[in-house]
């Protein structure tokens, strides 16, 4: 079983309680249709597990398959520098079929950010080092495709569907001494 080699740091995008019993790390690609499906599952898991689940997203753009994966990731990183990462992250997945510059510009404007500054950041590849660092950390951890999940540092061997992810998270919660009765079943 592969372990997560790149530790979670202040450079990561994290949602949830830092003391949560379970930490879910995703290596994802904004243009990957499987990641789009997994995004919905992650949102449901976050809603269901609340403070028991911390979520970390890292970029793993598969550029040979998805030419818009890097510009989309750069858009999210641009928004993140301005405190709006998660809004951009969600909007990119919700508009996955339309990932092109006009969408990115519209999205940042809706977030109250400058489309001109975004265009400049894209032209200068300002956020490419952060994206590359995420990608390299994924490669070191054995990530070969997207989405790839780690649960409490262990590679999730199952599928990224809601049922498989919920069962795996539940197993980690139980091993941490949290009981199923604390939450209603997801399925």
Provide the pLDDT for residue 181: 42
| Assigned domain for 153 exists | yes
Count of CB atoms within 10 A of residue 83's CB?
A: 10
Q: What is the dihedral of CA 96, 99, 105, 110, to 10 degrees?
A: -10
* Local confidence band at 183 (pLDDT 50, 70, 90 cut-offs): very low
CATH code for the domain of 60: 3.40.30.10
pLDDT, tens only, 35-89: 999 999 999 999 999 999 999 999 999 988 999 999 999 999 999 999 999 999 9
| Global pTM value | 0.93
Domain that includes residue 33, residue range: 13-182
């Amino acid at each position: 079983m592969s372990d997560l080699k790149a530790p979670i740091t202040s450079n990561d995008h994290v949602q949830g309680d830092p003391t949560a019993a379970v930490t879910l790390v995703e290596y994802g690609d904004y243009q990957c249709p499987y990641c789009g499906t997994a995004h919905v599952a992650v949102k449901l898991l976050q809603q269901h597990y609340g403070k028991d689940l911390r979520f970390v997203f890292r970029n793993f753009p598969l550029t040979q398959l998805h030419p818009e994966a890097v510009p989309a990731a750069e858009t999210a990183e641009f928004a993140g520098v301005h405190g709006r990462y998660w809004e951009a992250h969600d909007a990119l997945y919700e508009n996955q079929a339309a990932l092109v510059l006009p969408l990115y510009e519209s999205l940042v404007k809706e977030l109250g950010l400058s489309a001109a500054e975004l265009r400049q950041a894209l032209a200068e590849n300002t956020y490419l080092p952060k994206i590359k660092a995420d990608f390299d950390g994924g490669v070191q951890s054995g990530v070969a495709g997207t989405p790839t999940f780690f649960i409490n540092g262990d590679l999730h061997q199952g599928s990224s569907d809601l049922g498989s992810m919920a069962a795996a998270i539940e197993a980690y919660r139980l091993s941490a001494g949290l009981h199923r009765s604390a939450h209603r079943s997801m399925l």
